[in-house]
Structure 1
């Protein structure tokens, strides 16, 4: 479970509900069926018009990704793994890695290792792996775009809901007692639209982009590591090459630990 997503949603709901209570407005007003219909069904309609059915079928999967903790090989673990593999291949040759291929859990890394064991040209391996990364980025971009567009539509639909509510209120000017209630109900759609757009859909799109960025970084590390194995450079050189992907603060800690270990 992605704790930050759940925490963010809870804080967002608390902010609105408690804020309404402090302002003297009843949070029960949010349970406006007409406003909910206009915002959620209207947003869904806009997305179906703007995206293909194939893309919209990914919506449940994308929502699951947002609420699921991203599981990837830690960067330092990846560096240690490649350092070990380079030592093995320099000592025993690339074919020595055949027994370890099936133990690799990551499909991208496993496929890359198979390609270099099969003796493919280094440029070919690089091109295939980079194309795979680019294709993944495009899939992720399309997924995030769905939520970005939803965040754009929802606030505008909130204005539409307010206009519909005001039309209903103006048609009942004779009923003064109901007029205030109808006008306040008209703006519930605006509130829900803004909330969904800027507390729900846009942040979800951003989280998907961040998850994609992290996955791309890991895969680029894998490409560099695989090409390093193929080129036959030393394990120290591989480690130095891959440490570029580690933040400077973490690099300093790693160097400090290595220094203590040497002592």
Structure 2
């Protein structure tokens, strides 16, 4: 579970509640079922109208990926593994990869090295791995687009909810006390819409894009490493090439270990 994301959402919610308390507003007014129906169901309807059934039904899976802590190997560990494999293949030949990949957890790396062991040409391996990366990027792009669409719809639906609330309030002009309560409730829908759009959905889309970028970056490292192993490149040159694809903070970890050795 991504605790930092949960803290962010909770902080946003607390900011609204504390702000209302400071301003002397009644926090109980936030418990507005009508506003929640308009924003949540209305936003869901907007997403349904924007995407095909398959992508809409995948939303729970996307949310699961969003709140799941990043798993798998780090780019640094991937590079170390690739360098170790390149050293082994230089010593024992490419056929030794058949044994190496048997218990490999990283499916993308396993697929690439299996093709190398099978003797496929580098152009074929490159094409297949490129298609795999592009397919992954497209799936991630669609997932982020769902939240972008929801983030665009929610604030506008908040205005719609406020209009609906004001229509109800205008029907009770004779009851001053009830009128004030209904006007306050009308603007709760706007608050809901802005919160859902700009504290949840748009940030969620940005976070999914970032997660996608990190995963694709790791796949690109594997892509380059597999082709380098296939070409029989020197392990040291492979390491230098792949380290150049890392962020500065990660480069120092490998370069520091290399200098010690």
Q: TM-score, normalised by structure 2?
A: 0.97
Q: Which range moved further: 149-158 or 15-24?
A: 15-24
List aligned pairs for 1:171-190, cutoff 5 A: 171-190=171-190
Aligned to 1:198: 198
Instruction: Tell me, in whole angstroms, the C-alpha distance in 2 between the residues paired with 1:134 and 1:27.
Output: 47
Instruction: Tell me, in whole angstroms, the C-alpha distance in 1 between the residues paired with 2:250 and 2:71.
Output: 20
Instruction: Tell me, in whole angstroms, the C-alpha distance in 2 between the residues paired with 1:126 and 1:102.
Output: 22
Number of equivalent positions: 261
Aligned to 1:113: 113
Instruction: Tell me, in whole angstroms, the C-alpha distance in 2 between the residues paired with 1:42 and 1:25.
Output: 26
SS of 2:192 mapped into structure 1: helix
Instruction: Tell me, in whole angstroms, the C-alpha distance in 1 between the residues paired with 2:126 and 2:172.
Output: 69
Contact kept in structure 2, 1:72 and 1:215, CA below 8 Å: no
Q: Does 1:67 align with 2:67?
A: yes
Instruction: Tell me, in whole angstroms, the C-alpha distance in 1 between the residues paired with 2:66 and 2:40.
Output: 19
Q: TM-score, normalised by structure 1?
A: 0.96
Displacement of 1:253 in angstroms is: 4.7
Aligned to 1:14: 14
Structure 2 unaligned regions, length at least 5: none
Aligned to 2:170: 170
Query: Could you list the runs of 4 or more consecutive aligned residues of structure 1 that deviate by over 3 angstroms after TM superposition?
Result: none
Q: Does 1:237 align with 2:237?
A: yes
Aligned to 2:28: 28
List aligned pairs for 1:1-263, cutoff 5 A: 1-259=1-259, 261-262=260-261
Instruction: Tell me, in whole angstroms, the C-alpha distance in 2 between the residues paired with 1:258 and 1:154.
Output: 52
Structure 1 unaligned regions, length at least 5: none
Instruction: Tell me, in whole angstroms, the C-alpha distance in 2 between the residues paired with 1:43 and 1:252.
Output: 45
Instruction: Tell me, in whole angstroms, the C-alpha distance in 1 between the residues paired with 2:88 and 2:149.
Output: 49
Contact kept in structure 2, 1:9 and 1:200, CA below 8 Å: yes
Displacement of 1:254 in angstroms is: 3.6
